[in-house]
Amino acid sequence: MSTLIDGLSLGSIYALIALGYTMVYGIAKMLNFAHGDIIMVGTYAILTTMALCGFPAVAIVMAVIVCTILGIVVEKVAYKPLRGASPLAVLITAIGVSYLLQSIAQLIYGAKPQPVTLINFGHVTFGSTTLNISTLVTLGVAAVIMAGLTVFIKKTKTGRAMLAVSEDRGAAELMGIPVNKVITLTFGIGSALAAAASVFYLLQIPATSPTVGSLPGIKAFTAAVIGGIGSIPGAMIGGILLGVIEKVCMSIPALNPYTTAIEFSLLIVILLVKPTGLLGKKRREKV
């Protein structure tokens, strides 16, 4: 039982990150491999704010602000000039941005992992199961964020504009949709979600280092592909699936050493059976 809750909570962190990958892919048609490092920047923003003032709430708000601005700046400086360039050039640029952010963090904070204490919630006991409150908070808040995002995309004008751009950028532009603004907004939202993920990450593992974003980034990317990249519900399902599988594997002693291998094998199996991912759209070529 507690394994399942742990899994759901880890999964919702993956889902938040995966949403950033999938939204940017859907709208700008690029894989933003620097996305994981936005989480890293979020953790350092929290570290610094906590050292300066010590209020967790301020630290969380700072992380969201810093990440959102960083996401938008990276898009404007690094990706926007490449609009229309070959996807490979954009991909390499994204990898470059990723290393750049890691190196800057290393210059400022050093390469050693540093402890970050945000909030210590303690734990509760229900009968025989003990749960960390932080796990429950993660699960609850992430669910609210995802529900809010879904409503935003489905019910608002801006959300519709985002969907339209992801379907056919050219046609959307000719219908008067400000495509550049929509892309900027997408990076902003994606990075804000990454900031939220960094908060939850620190609640589970209270330490950070310049490469802290890499593994969650890769796993969330895997989750986005499993769910069908470009699909928002797909990213949520993929993330939660991956999180639950990870925690379940880790709780079984025989499988524990193979956890990561099992996760990535799952990716391969799902792509073999359904090449577009669980909820991915089929690409229909009309002749």
Partner 1 sequence: MAEYVLETKNLGISFGGLKAAQDVNLKIKKNQIYGLIGPNGAGKTTVFNMLTGVYKPTTGEIYLCGERIDGHGQEEINHKGIARTFQNIRLFNNMSVIRNVLVGLSNQPEYKCGLFTSMFRLPRHFKVEKAMRDRAKELLDIFGLLEERNNLACNLPYGKQRKLEIARALATNPKLLLLDEPAAGMNPQETAELMDTIRFVREHFDMTILLIEHDMSLVAGICEEITVLNFGQTLAHGSVEEVLHNSEVIRAYLGDD
> What is the total count of residues that contact partner 1 (CB under 8 A)?
24
Q: How far apart are CA 133 and CA 203, in angstroms?
A: 10
Closer CB to partner 1, 65 or 261, in the complex: 65
The correct pick among 29, 80, 160, 274 for binding partner 1 (CB under 8 A) is 160
The span from the CA of 146 to the CA of 5, in Å, is 17
**Per-residue binder mask for partner 1 (CB under 8 A), 171-210, x = binder:** xxxxxxxxx-----x-------------------------
Distance, in Å, from the CA atom of 72 to the CA atom of 67, rounded to the nearest integer, reads: 9
Least distance (Å) from partner 1 to the CB of residue 191?
Answer: 16
Nearest to 43 by CA among 103, 135, 114: 114
Q: Among positive and negative, which fits the CA dihedral 217, 220, 221, 222?
A: positive
Using rule CB under 8 A, residue 77 touches partner 1: no
Contacts of residue 236, Cβ cutoff 8 Å, sequence gap at least 6: 15, 18, 19, 146, 227
Nearer to partner 1, 112 or 286 (CB): 286
Contact 186, 162 (CB under 8 A): yes
**Contact between 167 and partner 1 per CB under 8 A:** yes
Q: Is 163 in the site for partner 1 (CB under 8 A)?
A: yes
User: Per rule CB under 8 A, is residue 157 in the interface with partner 1?
Assistant: yes
126 DSSP β-pair partners: 129
The answer to whether 65 contacts partner 1 (rule: CB under 8 A) is: no
Taking the complex as a whole, the smallest distance from the CB of residue 103 to partner 1 amounts, in Å, to 34
In the chain, the amino acid numbered 13 is I
Rounded CA separation 51/114 (Å):
12
Using rule CB under 8 A, residue 150 touches partner 1 = no
Please check whether residue 49 is in contact with residue 59, taking contact to mean a CB–CB distance below 8 angstroms: yes
Identify whether the C-beta of residue 202 lies closer than 8 Å to the C-beta of residue 83: no
Instruction: Name the minimum Å distance from CB 201 to partner 1.
Output: 25
CB of 20 to partner 1, least distance (A): 18
With respect to partner 1, which residue has the nearer C-beta, 40 or 185? 185
Near partner 1 by CB under 8 A, which window of 67-75, 98-106, 152-160, 261-269?
A: 152-160
127 binds partner 1 (CB under 8 A): no
Q: What are φ and ψ of residue 208, in 5° steps?
A: -140, 155
Q: How far is the CB of 3 from partner 1 (least distance, A)?
A: 36
Neighbouring CB atoms inside 10 A of 253's CB total 7
Q: Are 16 and 239 in contact (CB under 8 A)?
A: yes
CB of 161 to partner 1, least distance (A): 6
Shortest distance in whole angstroms from residue 174 CB to partner 1: 5
In terms of CB distance, is 123 or 154 closer to partner 1? Answer: 154
> In the numeric block, which tokens belong to residue 79?
């990706």
Q: Which residues bind partner 1 (CB under 8 A)?
A: 152, 155-158, 160-161, 163-164, 167-168, 170-179, 185, 281, 286
